[in-house]
Amino acid sequence: MTGIDDLPIRDELRGKTPYGAPQLDVPVRLNTNENPYPLPEALVRRIAERVTEAARTLNRYPDRDAVELRTALAAYLSRTAGHEVGAANVWAANGSNEVLQQLLQTFGGPGRTAIGFEPSYSMHALIARGTGTGWISGPRHEDFRIDVDAARAVIAEQRPDVVFITSPNNPTGTAVEAGTALALYEAAQAAKPSLVVIDEAYGEFSHRPSLLPLIEGRPRLVLCRTMSKAFGAAGLRLGYLAADPAVVDAVQLVRLPYHLSAVTQATALAALEHTDTLLGYVDQLKGERDRLVDELRAAGCEVTDSDANFVQFGRFDDAQAAWRALLEQGVLVRDNGVPGRLRVTAGTPAENDAFLDAVRTLVKEKR
């Protein structure tokens, strides 16, 4: 049988495995940070209407620049993220992963490097690899906050071309203070004129305000968002960035023509019409997230403060064994490879109850 390694693939891809959490068919799936609430029926109908409309002109290529959608995204950010932006500041693609890929194709690439502060979102390193960008793993404190002094030192020494700041961070849930983001931005600019990317995929769930206002006057600072989490539309594949219009112009150099289908644009526009309902679900999830933190602590777990729709908990002598023990009770969480810790996504109240029961059983058995 022919294997991947029999093919003339790039050397840096040899022996590697694709990204992906196990998708197992169990009663309670709390492993991929999805929103547990299906889209409301009224929105489902609106999507059908808008997609029907779009279908009438599917013989034509879509709006290459997605101007209507970018205008709606800009209005959403202006209303909810504490800073006025327009369509010229916003760029959209198929999931924020594609946005990140376009950024690395434009600002990274062979001979260049990107840095992230780990543990963090593993796709940053994977997209770096896929685009031929060198990867540097930066440090964090024991409590998973970014170690600013150590970060400054590694940036000064390594002079990366792209700096990733994930806030709230995945998988730890840790939000980054504006002061920390600014300190890293200054350090990066002192080393070389590098691009700083703030990945705010979980921004809507945070106790803290968005870092969007920081883009003002900083043309090399980019904020990334997604409709996969707060909007409950992971299946839609829609992510976006906000930055100086020059950044938007720059990513056009690498984006595929007509990358965002007319069906995607129509669906995202429909979802944006229902923002208030969807943000209502976000409020419920924030309440459930806070309850998970409290009840896990009450059960004797060590829990990292969370600003996202998931919670990192432990400590286990053997996180993999704990992951399996929960799975045997019908609950799927995520083992992100952080020693002694697991990550649970906030689900519906019933799912969270089932998860908490399973954890209590696990903790009791360990004693």
Ligand X SMILES: *Cc1c(COP(=O)(O)O)cnc(C)c1O
Tokens found for residue 127: 């997209």
Q: How far is the CB of 248 from ligand X (least distance, A)?
A: 18
Q: x/- string (CB under 6 A) for ligand X, residues 291-330?
A: ----------------------------------------
Residue with tokens 């730890």: 172
Q: What is each CA distance from 12 to 17, 132, 282, in whole angstroms?
A: 12, 8, 40
Residue nearest to ligand X (CB): 95
How far apart CA 229 and CA 206 sit, in angstroms, is 12
Q: Which stretch binds ligand X (CB under 6 A): 14-22, 58-66, 226-234, 243-251?
A: 226-234
Q: Does 201 bind ligand X (CB under 6 A)?
A: yes
Q: Is the peptide bond before 315 cis (omega within 30 degrees of 0)?
A: yes
Judged by beta carbon, residue 166 or residue 352, the one nearer ligand X is 166
Entry field: residues in the chain: 367
Strand partners, 111: none
The piece of 213-221, 223-231, 280-288, 356-364 that touches ligand X (CB under 6 A) is: 223-231
Assigned token pair, 131:
């685009």
Among 35, 97, 306, 309, the residue binding ligand X under the rule CB under 6 A is 97
For tokens 């700096």, name the residue.
Answer: 163
Number of residues lying near ligand X (CB under 6 A): 14
Assess 166 for contact with ligand X (CB under 6 A): yes
Do the beta carbons of residue 175 and residue 144 sit within 8 Å?
no
- For ligand X, give the closer residue by CB, 195 or 354: 195
Give the residue among 288, 133, 148, 279 at the shortest CA–CA distance from 195: 133
- C-alpha torsion 33→86→179→136, nearest 10: 60
Choose the stretch contacting ligand X; rule: CB under 6 A; options: 81-89, 141-149, 221-229, 273-281: 221-229
CA dihedral (17, 23, 28, 31) positive or negative: positive
Site for ligand X contains 138 (CB under 6 A) = no
Interface characters, 102-121, with ligand X (x: CB under 6 A): -------------------x
Contact pick of 226, 264, 309, 312 for ligand X (by CB under 6 A): 226
Q: Which residues bind ligand X (CB under 6 A)?
A: 33, 95-97, 121, 166, 170, 199, 201, 226, 228-229, 234, 239
